[in-house]
Amino acid sequence: MVHSFDIEDDGGAEAAPQGGRIRQRNKARIIAAAEKVFAERGYDGATTAEIAEIAGLAKSNVHYYFGTKEAIYREVVAGIVDLWLKAFGEITAEDDPATAISAYIRQKLLYSRKRPLASRIFATEIIRGAPILRPFLEADLRDWVEDKAKVLAHWAAQGRMDEVSPHHFFFMIWAATQTYADFASQIAAVLGHKRLREADFEEAIATVTAIVLKGCGIRA
């Protein structure tokens, strides 16, 4: 029974950091370590021992804070969903299409740059059939897309962009932006770089933005 991602229900103010100082610090360390391990080993490949080691704690101590490995995973995933929700950004009918979509693409791509691990965990979770994230996808994300579909329809009616399937429009943007996190090793290999650089991301932003805007008939 997942279904609730209101991790700590921060009632308006900044997240209520519950628990003592030590607890807080250690939980954060564990989550950070877990993000790394889950990202590069997958759920089954990850071991609580390695998470503990990276976090600088004894394995039994990790189990003291999180009962099970799955509990750690759930919390990591919940944090990632939070990121997604924030990265959603605001796209409203009043916005200028070019500005709003450009900003959205840039935001998504910068997120791929800054949080590639999170993006990869999200990807593998989806590939596995989204056992944990299904509720989020079917409710929150779906609603968000339906909402934005109306915005796109509005813009199209005003002649400010072509009529394109809003769903597939977003699938395409998500894919084109997340690929720079998930498939970074492929992209780096093809580019002949060891790792992706700042300039690679800038060129990605430019190319994706240009193709998407022009491809949908959005004028600056």
Partner DNA sequence: AGAAAAATTGTCCAACTGGTTAGGTTTTGG
Partner DNA sequence: CCAAAACCTAACCAGTTGGACAATTTTTCT
Residues lying near a second copy in the complex (CB under 8 A): 39-45, 120, 123-124, 126-130, 133-134, 137-138, 141-142, 145, 162, 164-165, 167-172, 174-176, 178-180, 182-183, 185-187, 189-192, 203-204, 206-208, 210-217
**Amino acid code (one letter) for 72:** I
Q: For residues 156 and 56, what is the distance between their CA atoms, to the nearest angstrom?
A: 54
**Amino acid code (one letter) for 203:** E
Query: Which of 8-16, 20-28, 113-121, 162-170 is the region at the interface with DNA (rule: CB under 7 A)?
Result: 20-28
Q: For residues 93 and 91, what is the distance between their CA atoms, to the nearest angstrom?
A: 7
Task: Give the angle 145-83-120 at the CA atoms, nearest 5°.
Answer: 95
Pick what 179 binds: a second copy, DNA, none; C-beta below 5 to 8 Å, kind-dependent: a second copy
Of 71 and 139, which has the nearer Cβ to DNA?
71
CB 75 within 8 A of CB 174: no
CB 7 within 8 A of CB 75: yes
Q: b/e map of 205-214 (b: 16 or more CB within 10 Å)?
A: beebbeebbe
Pick what 99 binds: a second copy, DNA, none; C-beta below 5 to 8 Å, kind-dependent: none
Pick what 26 binds: DNA, a second copy, none; C-beta below 5 to 8 Å, kind-dependent: DNA
Question: Which residues are within 8 A (CB) of 98 and not within 5 positions of it... i.e. 6 or more apart?
Answer: 213, 218, 219, 220
Q: For residues 83 and 77, what is the distance between their CA atoms, to the nearest angstrom?
A: 10
Least distance from C-beta 73 to a second copy, angstroms? 12
19 touches DNA by CB under 7 A: yes
Site string for DNA, 52-91 (x = CB under 7 A): -----xxxxx-xx--xxxx---------------------
- Tokens 């954060």, residue? 28
40 touches DNA by CB under 7 A: no
Binding footprint of DNA, residue count (CB under 7 A): 21
Least distance from C-beta 28 to DNA, angstroms? 12
Which residues would be at the binding site for DNA (CB under 7 A)?
A: 19-23, 26, 46-49, 57-61, 63-64, 67-70
